[in-house]
Amino acid sequence: MSERKYWEITENDVYVQVFREMLEELDLTFFKKDIIDSYKSLSLQGQYVVTRLYYRSAKWLRQSDLEKYLPPDELKGVLEELVQKNWLLSEPDLDIYLEVATVKELQAVAVEFNIKKAMSRPQLVAALEELCKRKTFFGPPLRPKVTLKLKGAVSSLYLLNEGMSSTLALVSFMFLVPAQITLDVVVRTNMKMIKFRQYDYLTQKEAPIFESKHDFIDYYEARVLCDPLEESASSCTQELIEVVRLKIKSTSPRNGPFSAAYVYGRALALVSECLGKAGKFQEEYQMIQEYFEQEIHKSRKSSLIIRKLNLELRFFKELQDTSWLLKAINTYYDASGIVNSIYAFDLSRKAVRMSREIEKVGLSVPPLELSKFEQLPTNLLEAEQLELLPGQGVRTRWGQEGASNTVEETALIHYADYGWAGGHYEGGMISTLFWLAFHDIIFSDKTQFRCRFHNRPLKLQSVLDTNKTKIEKRVTDNLKETIINSFKTLYELQPNVGGINWNIPLEGIEAVIDGLGNALGAILLRLAESYYTYNSGFPDLTLWKTEEPECKFVEVKSTNDTISDNQYVWIQFLSGLGIPVEICKIRGKRKRE
């Protein structure tokens, strides 16, 4: 079984297959036939790139960003094909180049026009914009010249044509809605407003399934009203605030992101955020209090209760009124029973702060429970920091072994010198072990799959909670045998199985299972507890030695990068299980005098 490479595109590739089958099965008579025909006429690679880009938010991409889908020698011809058939737009205006250019690229262009002062990014953009406004007596206008120079520095940019990709959005949405929702309701929606591309149904937590036409219309109207808040704080008008307040009180609560209640709840959270950014903290606090009266999901309540605690501590500091400190203490105890371990980490930091304040004012309250903050093992690595070349994007590049590498690639080369194999998988390794271990359990409820292209249940966490007893029993059985047998059975179905990274070699999976030992069961149970909470923050590198066997995990950071809360929580959890885990910090080599 060879490692599957991203450029080995076949007729069975899910990203192409899903659209081909939808185009064959749906009634598309009301679509623009030329768009459908144009998609069908694309080469296999062209269809692949279009459908992959369809799942991204609409923004201009560098050619180097597109090389993750196809190797450079194939990509050039595909891009020419897509531009020719109007699926990709190129040659953007000056404003786009100013937006995506790195500081070094802006500086290089500025020097060519004798703008030599050291400037920040906003100053460089302003200077180049001012330069373009100047009029010349004898030469050509400067704006096209500046645009041309920026294009050379940034490299080619491409954007998926939204007028054509919205057809794909509508086709994919139609393929998922139940038959009782008539197509005329779907057709009248504004797909650009609804932005279904944010909910890639091949990997999303829940698919857009509605129980009735009325639920769909309510959801659509809520998105039209509230989506402007996602785009700009200027949309947060008093009129909109009052409408959202009325709507959230009159809308029936429903779970899942595809409901009007969820949209209005999200809008209320955005309103409170906008008020906070505007310095209207009392109004923000009132809005959060209103939100807490609604039936909202635990995960959303967790983030808001932390913000509520922040505001109460802020008001105590500003007003020196102990009643606000008492409110903060009550909020702290309320939060302790709501938040998961990631939010609890932040909560504990605030408890340290509150304990000092309680001691200062002499309040008589029960002592706050404080988490222990452990010192993380750190490995310091030096590498040569390289200058960015045109088209390389904003990521820092490092020199190691005469090559240009990312910070993770540099770390992998370093650990390979000490006999470690592995890869930059982040949560991919643990997610793979999880889905292989519980695949039959996860796919046991057939009602969770409304479409044959769903590679995970519509409500994964609900399935995990329902089968909690089976999952707990599974981790006490022979996990290695179950995982290896699942790998061999499911390999031929790739990539149509959710959560599994098929680029991880089987020998690596076996080595990690042996290296983790009994700790693997505890890790998998943690994921089962709240999959979408703990599926992020896992260390960057998974390393193993097949001879020992032995494994360890490494979080890689460049000089100015910091550990996030969910990363710290995972590292602390793994260390508590006795699993080797460390931080690898990479800094530029110091120049010798």
DSSP state of 142: H
Tell me the torsion sign for CA atoms 223, 229, 232, 234: positive
C-alpha dist (Å) from residue 137 to 141, 142, 144: 9, 11, 16
Measured between alpha carbons, how far is 489 from 45 in angstroms, rounded to an integer?
A: 28
Measured between alpha carbons, how far is 543 from 423 in angstroms, rounded to an integer?
A: 7
Omega within 30 of 0 (cis) for the link into 253: no
| Among the listed residues 42, 10, 51, 89, the one whose alpha carbon sits nearest the alpha carbon of residue 172 | 51
Q: For residue 424, what is the enclosing H or E element?
A: strand 421-424
pLDDT on residue 593: 40
Task: Record the tokens describing residue 335, joined without a space.
Answer: 């939060």
Beta bridge partners of 403: 400
HEC-encoded secondary structure of 14-78: HHHHHHHHHHHHCCCCCCCHHHHHHHHHCCHHHHHHHHHHHCCCCCCEEHHHHCCCCCHHHHHHH
DSSP state of 508: H
Q: Please provide residue 157's backbone torsions phi and psi, each rounded to the nearest 5 degrees.
A: -120, 145
pLDDT on residue 237: 84
Beta bridge partners of 398: 385, 405
Q: Which residue has the tokens 């099965």?
A: 25
Pairing between strand 581-588 and 378-386? parallel
Asked whether the beta carbons of 504 and 428 are under 8 A apart, the reply is yes
Encode burial over 443-476: b for 16+ CB neighbours within 10 A, e otherwise: beeeebebbebbbbbbbbbebbeebeeebeebbe
| Among the listed residues 527, 531, 536, 540, the one whose alpha carbon sits nearest the alpha carbon of residue 565 | 536
Contacts (Cβ under 8 Å, ≥6 apart) of 385: 396, 397, 398, 399, 588, 589
Tell me the torsion sign for CA atoms 189, 195, 197, 202: negative
C-alpha dist (Å) from residue 539 to 354, 420, 510, 568, 581: 31, 16, 19, 9, 8
Measured between alpha carbons, how far is 278 from 286 in angstroms, rounded to an integer?
A: 15
C-alpha dist (Å) from residue 167 to 28, 174, 220, 390: 10, 11, 17, 34
Asked whether the beta carbons of 422 and 512 are under 8 A apart, the reply is no
Measured between alpha carbons, how far is 463 from 477 in angstroms, rounded to an integer?
A: 20
Measured between alpha carbons, how far is 565 from 511 in angstroms, rounded to an integer?
A: 28
Q: Which residue has the tokens 């044509």?
A: 161
Please report how many Cα atoms fall inside a 13 Å half-sphere around the Cα of residue 381, on the Cβ side.
26
Q: Pseudo-torsion of CA 312, 316, 322, 326, nearest 10°?
A: 20
Measured between alpha carbons, how far is 447 from 584 in angstroms, rounded to an integer?
A: 45
Contacts (Cβ under 8 Å, ≥6 apart) of 222: 247, 251, 260, 263, 264, 267
Helix residue ranges per DSSP H, 251-338: 260-277, 281-292, 298-319, 322-336
Measured between alpha carbons, how far is 24 from 28 in angstroms, rounded to an integer?
A: 9
Say which amino acid occupies 569: V
Q: Which residue has the tokens 């590198």?
A: 541
Measured between alpha carbons, how far is 217 from 328 in angstroms, rounded to an integer?
A: 40
Give, rounded to a whole angstrom, the gap between the first and last alpha carbons of the chain: 52
3-class SS shares of the chain: helix, strand, coil, % to 5: 55, 10, 35
Q: In tens digits, what is the pLDDT along the chain, a chain of 593 residues?
A: 344 444 455 555 666 776 777 777 766 776 778 888 898 899 988 988 888 887 666 678 888 788 878 888 888 899 999 999 999 998 888 888 888 888 888 888 888 888 877 678 888 888 888 888 776 666 667 888 888 888 888 888 898 887 787 777 767 666 666 555 555 444 444 444 444 444 433 334 445 566 666 777 788 778 778 877 777 777 888 888 888 888 877 777 666 667 787 788 778 778 887 887 778 888 888 878 877 766 665 666 777 788 888 888 888 888 888 888 888 888 888 877 777 777 777 787 788 778 888 878 877 777 666 555 566 666 665 555 555 455 454 455 556 555 667 788 888 888 888 899 999 998 899 999 999 999 999 988 877 776 666 677 877 888 999 999 999 999 988 899 999 999 988 887 665 677 888 889 999 999 999 999 999 999 999 999 888 888 888 999 999 998 878 899 999 887 777 888 888 889 888 988 989 998 888 777 654 44
| Among the listed residues 547, 515, 490, 498, the one whose alpha carbon sits nearest the alpha carbon of residue 1 | 490
Contacts (Cβ under 8 Å, ≥6 apart) of 16: 9, 44, 47, 48, 51
- The pTM for the full model equals 0.69
3-state SS assignment for residue 373 = coil
| Among the listed residues 261, 171, 249, 247, the one whose alpha carbon sits nearest the alpha carbon of residue 210 | 261
